[in-house]
Amino acid sequence: MLFWLHEIFHINLLGYITIRAGIAFFLALIISLYLFPKFIRWAQRTSSVQPINDWAPDRHQEKASTPTMGGIVFIGATIIATLISVNLTNAYALGALITLVLFMSIGFWDDFAKIKKSENLAGFKARTKLLLQIVSAFIVACFLCYVADFNTDLYVPFLKKPVLDMGMFAVALWMLVIIATSNAVNLTDGLDGLATVPSIAALVSFSIIIYITGNVKLSSYLLMPNFAVSEVAIIASALIGALCGFLWYNCHPAEVFMGDSGSLTVGAFLGYLAIISKSEILLLLIGSIFVIETLSVILQVSSFKLRKKRVFLMAPIHHHFEMKQWAENKIIVRFWIIAILSNVLALITLKIR
């Protein structure tokens, strides 16, 4: 809408990515802050609350009455702000919207099944959820490759030029990035606000990288690839605003959880941003907390299967620190610090090429 006003009435101010990104941020923030109190009251009235896994630490049982599925609110706010602010003729912006809608749908139905049966494990079976993620990631990857005709070169941090052209194998890598990141954020979402701030930090980093990648002068100066992806920075900005509104109610003690409808979607979107910014490898640093959480689960499961011994008291690793009697706030804030520092380091690496 705003871009059309720029095109039709020649309002130059609305032609700037930064201006529309700022508008999208505040629109999503305001919508999110407005809707969440209403959503929380509705969820409490209808018992749409978080079923707690029996294996979770005892202190989690007190959260059993906390509303969940907050992801549909902040993702909805993001989509509304995006439709108002972004140029919908941009293929990469459309790809971002497709990613948000597909993965929010998976998460919504998973959350809904858990709420309906009042059981944490009553959602999709692991294989079913993975299959749906594979299909969704395949749609997004094929859209990028065959509709948006996106570059299939693989870039590595610190190198000016791509290391190889992945060709048809790019679709497989992009699917892996989207699915892995989606599940990594989902694993991290176990404490109040734990996944929210690292997600915001990662979105800020990707917004900057995508803006640079879409700007001819800046990408040339920093020796980075140049693609017409800047519009997606507006969507990332909208999601940052929506997540800030969510964090207002999600910080400890949480009044609402994002649920799979939020965590799966945010993770998939971060994977999408990594792909279009040619930062698939840098994602490991930008999403360091998500990587640590995922590795802790892999190590725990592998060790128990091979040696019948556990590496951690409980996995993911944030539960390990809970079992060591760390205060929840201490775990959360320390993880936030690690996430922010790793993103600062990731941005510093952009100049080293």
**pLDDT score of 62:** 64
Q: In a 3-state reduction of DSSP, which class is residue 85? A: helix
Condensed to tens digits (0 to 9), the pLDDT of residues 138-179 reads 999 999 999 999 999 999 998 889 999 998 899 999 999 999
To the nearest whole number, what is the mean pLDDT of the chain?
A: 91
Please name which of 254, 111, 258 lies closest in space to residue 185, comparing C-alpha atoms: 258
Q: Is the peptide bond before 316 cis (omega within 30 degrees of 0)?
A: yes
Query: pTM for the full model?
Result: 0.94
Single-letter code of the amino acid located at 135: V
For residue range 35-54, list pLDDT tens digits in order. Answer: 999 999 998 888 777 666 55
Q: Are 235 and 161 in contact (CB under 8 A)?
A: no
Q: pLDDT band for position 353 (50/70/90)? A: confident
Question: pLDDT (tens digit, 9 = 90+) per residue, 254-281?
Answer: 899 999 999 999 999 999 999 999 999 9
Q: What is the pLDDT of residue 216?
A: 93
Position 249 pLDDT exceeds 70: yes
Q: What are the pLDDT digits (tens) for 232-242?
A: 999 999 999 99
Helices vs. strands in the chain: H and E counts, helices first: 14, 2
3-class DSSP state for residue 324? coil
* Coil, strand or helix at 165: strand
282, pLDDT greater than 60: yes
Q: How confident is the model at residue 56 (pLDDT cuts 50, 70, 90)?
A: low
Nearest CA to 269 out of 299, 240, 291 is that of 240
Looking at the predicted structure, is the pLDDT value of residue 108 above 60?
yes
Residue 65 in this model has a pLDDT that exceeds 60: yes
pLDDT at position 291 is: 97
Residue with token string 């140049």: 226
| Identity at 202, one-letter amino acid code | A
CB 345 within 8 A of CB 285: yes
For range 21-39, the mean pLDDT: 97
Cα(129)–Cα(143) distance, integer angstroms: 21
pLDDT mean over 312-320:
92
